[in-house]
Amino acid sequence: MFSVVIPLYNKERHIVDAVKSVLQQTYEEFEIIIVNDGSIDNSLDALKVISDPRVKIISQENAGVSMARNLGIENAAFDYIAFLDADDEWESFFLQEIYELINKFPHTGWYATGYAYKEHGRLKDVLPKDLKKKKSLVDFFQYSIFDLLIHIDSVVIEKSSLQEVGVFPEGVSYGEDQDLFSRLALKYPLAYSGKVGTHYSLDSDNRACLNVGLTELWPFLKEYNNLLKNIKITDEKRFYINEFIARRMISKARSLKQYGQTVKAIQLLMKYTDTVLLKKTWIKSFIFCLSPYKTLRTLKHFLQGRKV
C-alpha cells in the first residue's frame, strides 16, 4: 500500500483536481495525507467536496514545503511514500506503474516514472529517448545532467530508504526534492519507467520556485565531497556525479550574474572549466557572465594560465 503525501499552501484552485487524480487511480490501495502548511486562502474549504475515508488532513503553521512533506512522512501508515504537489496531477495508471516497478525491482528503494510539463493545456515530456517505454534501473546522475530525470510528483520512496539517507532538508527554499534524490542516488540505483505518469503544471497559482532567488545551494551541493569520501563508487559514476554538480553550479553562476554578483559568478564558473559534457553550456554562461565586461583586460585576468 502507498501513503500519498500532498503539501498544501494556498492552492484552492488546484487542490481538488490533484486529489481527484489520486482517487481515480486504477491501483486503489493507498491513503492520502494532505498537510495544510498554514494556508490563508480557501484551500481547506475547497476540499469539503471530497468525501473518501482514505483522505486525511493534518495542519501545521506555515513552515515550508520540506517540513510539510516530512510531517506527512511521519504520519504515513505504509512503507511506500508517494508525493504529489497540490497543483499537479497523476495519470490514472501512475500507482499501477510504480507497483509493477516494485515487483520487478524489489530492493532498489525508490521508484519513478517519466513526467511532463503542462503549460496552456499542452504537455511536453522529459523522457530520455533510450528510456522510453522501458522499465529499467538507471543512474539518476547520468540522466539528470541536462534535464532533471524525475520530479517530486513522479517519485515513490520506500520508508526504509528515507530512514537511511534522511528526509527533505528543512530551511531550504529551492531544490529540496533534488537534494533528497541526490542522496538517494548515492546509495541506490533508480527503478524507472519510461512512461509519463505525472503532469507538472507551469500555469498554477503561487508556484514556490518563482518566489525565491536561485542563488542558494541545496545541502547536497555543499556536502557532496564529504559524502563521496564514505561511499565506494566507480570512476564512471564519479564522472557523472561531477558533471551533474557542474551543471547545477553553472546554473547558479548565471543566477548570481542576474542578481548583480558578477565577480562571484565568474569565480564559480572558473572552478568548472574541466567539464566534459557541458563545454558549450559553460562557454555560453561564461560569455553571459562577462557581459558587459568583455574587455581584453578582463579576459586576460580570468583566463590567464587556464585552458577554456
- Helices 279-290 and 262-269 cross at an angle (nearest 10°) of 160
Alpha helices in 151-305 (DSSP H): 159-165, 176-187, 219-229, 235-258, 262-269, 279-290, 296-303
Integer Cα distance of 267 and 94 in angstroms: 43
Residue 68 C-alpha cell reads as 510539510
Residue 249 C-alpha cell reads as 553550479
Looking at residue 214, its pLDDT comes to 60
Residue 234 C-alpha cell reads as 566507480
Half-sphere CA count of 294, side-chain side, radius 13 A = 9
Integer Cα distance of 264 and 235 in angstroms: 30
Integer Cα distance of 293 and 210 in angstroms: 28
Reported as type and span, the H/E element at residue 20 is helix 15-23
Integer Cα distance of 182 and 190 in angstroms: 11
Place of cell 579576459: 299
Place of cell 534524490: 181
What is the mean pLDDT, run by run of 10 residues, along the chain of 308 residues?
97 95 97 97 95 96 95 97 96 98 95 93 88 94 94 97 95 89 95 95 63 69 84 92 95 91 92 95 92 57 53
Place of cell 510531517: 71
Q: Identity (one letter) of the amino acid at 10? A: N
Length of the chain, in residues: 308
Q: What does 117-176 look like in DSSP terms, one character per residue?
A: EEETTEEEE---GGGTT-EEEE-TTGGGSSS-S--GGGEEEEHHHHHHH--PPTT-SS-H
Question: Residue 292 class from Cβ within 10 Å (0-12 exposed, 13-18 middle, 19+ buried)?
Answer: exposed
179 contacts 218 by C-beta, under 8 angstroms:
yes
Coil, strand or helix at 108: coil
Q: What does 48-71 look like in DSSP terms, one character per residue?
A: GG---TTEEEEEE-S--HHHHHHH
Q: Is the pTM of this model over 0.75?
A: yes
Integer Cα distance of 22 and 29 in angstroms: 11
CATH T-level assignment (fold) for domain 2-205: Spore Coat Polysaccharide Biosynthesis Protein SpsA; Chain A (3.90.550)
Looking at residue 299, its pLDDT comes to 55
85 contacts 153 by C-beta, under 8 angstroms:
yes
**252 φ/ψ angles, rounded to the nearest 5 degrees:** -65, -40
